[in-house]
Structure 1
Amino acid sequence: MNKWIGIVALSAMASFSCAAQWQVIEQDSRVNFISVKKGDIAEVHHFKQLKGTLADSGQFNLTIPLVGVATGIEVRDERLQNLLFEVSLYPELKLTSQVDSKMLKDLVVGESKVADFDGKISLHGKEQTKTFSVILTKVSDNKLMVSSFQPIIINANEFDLVAGVEKLRDIAGLSSISQAVPVSFVLTLTQQLQ
């Protein structure tokens, strides 16, 4: 009998630990960035793939495979992959952050909170810490939306991407490509309730 009580207790703990983990739902999430060329021609792009988790402790991890960059023009996607991101050497962008776990637990269904979190971005062999201003919305008991309250600016020089930007500018015959890129996002996370 004690053996079965132990197994039931272990199963309950395993279920609880599974329930505590939030997963980013790729098809309902998007990370966008804006490029500006020739001074004032702006275009919106995004990444087709991303995966992420948010633990009950507040530990957040997001991984973006850079081969999934989507600009709407296939040859430009390939140039970004090879000349800018150098995906053969640096295949992913990673973001890690610590979210206030108490705020997460206290969030009730239908409620939104604006919060600032520091996140460490790993991109192209470099790491930078940036402050993300986000809106957290508890959509339902097992659905959470995290979106940018304001864009963050990624500068090419922070991630050793200046040479890549210059290669893109040269191959496309452009007078300029901005090295400052605004990034915004909407992430939908779900939690498997047991």
Structure 2
Amino acid sequence: MKHLTRLATAALMTTSLATFAQAGGHANWTSVADQSSIAFGSIKKDTVGEVHHFEDVIGTVSEAGELAVSIQLGSVETYIDIRNERMIEHVFRAADAKATLAGEVDMEELDALGVGETTLTDFEGVLSLGGLEADIEAELLVARLSEDRVLVTTANMIMLSTADLGIDAGIDTLMKLAKLPGITRVTPVTVRMVFEK
């Protein structure tokens, strides 16, 4: 569940980044895989904190500023093989399951962002996961790395609820399988994405 929540947040961040990048010109922008990361945290037994991430996240932005992010939920990496397998089976419910984030951004405020400059911007989008939709809001830091590259990160951690994503039942199953007294139902998410055109 925590992974899904983070995934949603990550998707949101990615979308925002793509949007920012698009602001610098009239061309499609695509995320750079080896320079982009979506991480999320979880706490079990009230005292043990861990960091996880998704390895396969793709984001694009059209000339019109339409944002689209796809997250392959089966690419979750928790650094424990059996936990990866259980997350895929019980939380995401399929190895090829995806989460998508869609939104639009007004490019005008970003058009003036010069190379080496940064700005803070608010983003709103819709995350789709397992047939459910959840509204996402985040504040992002955008940095213009060059004329054709933009870095986008979360300005603050994004907190997502597993209940809103409809994955509480999957988390309950994880707790039983791992014999844990509890797993947090709100997850902090951070995003670092690079987009290029």
Give TM class, smaller chain. Answer: 0.7 to 0.9
Q: Which residue of 2 aligns with 1:108?
A: 114
Report if aligned partners of 1:48, 1:69 keep a CA contact under 8 Å in 2.
yes
* Alpha-carbon distance change, 104 to 56 in structure 1, aligned in 2, over 3 angstroms: farther
The whole-number CA distance in structure 1 between the counterparts of 2:138 and 2:27 is 23
Structure 1 residue 181 corresponds to structure 2 residue 156: no
1:22 aligned to which of 29, 50, 61: 29
The whole-number CA distance in structure 1 between the counterparts of 2:169 and 2:49 is 21
TM-score by length of 2: 0.84
RMSD in angstroms over aligned alpha carbons? 1.5
SS in 1 for 2:145: strand
1:163-182 → structure 2 map (5 Å cutoff): 163-182=169-188
Alignment gaps of 5+ in structure 2: 1-24
SS in 2 for 1:157: coil
Structure 1 residue 120 corresponds to structure 2 residue 126: yes
1:81 aligned to which of 54, 77, 88: 88
Identity %: 29
Deviation of the 1:19 alpha carbon: 6.2
Report if aligned partners of 1:56, 1:101 keep a CA contact under 8 Å in 2.
no
1:152 aligned to which of 153, 158, 171: 158
Q: Which residue of 1 aligns with 2:148?
A: 142
The whole-number CA distance in structure 1 between the counterparts of 2:121 and 2:92 is 30
Deviation of the 1:85 alpha carbon: 1.1
SS in 2 for 1:163: helix
Q: Which residue of 1 aligns with 2:139?
A: 133
The whole-number CA distance in structure 1 between the counterparts of 2:129 and 2:188 is 15
2:54 aligned to which of 38, 42, 47: 47
| Equivalent position amino acid for 2:174 in 1 | L
Greater relative contact order (CA < 8 Å, ≥ 6 in sequence): 2
The whole-number CA distance in structure 1 between the counterparts of 2:57 and 2:183 is 26
The whole-number CA distance in structure 1 between the counterparts of 2:61 and 2:135 is 18
Say which one has the larger Rg: 1
Deviation of the 1:81 alpha carbon: 0.5
The whole-number CA distance in structure 2 between the counterparts of 1:94 and 1:178 is 23
More divergent stretch after superposition (53-62 vs 163-172): 53-62
Deviations 1:124-183 (A, max 9, x none): 221011211101111000000111111211111111111100000000000100111111
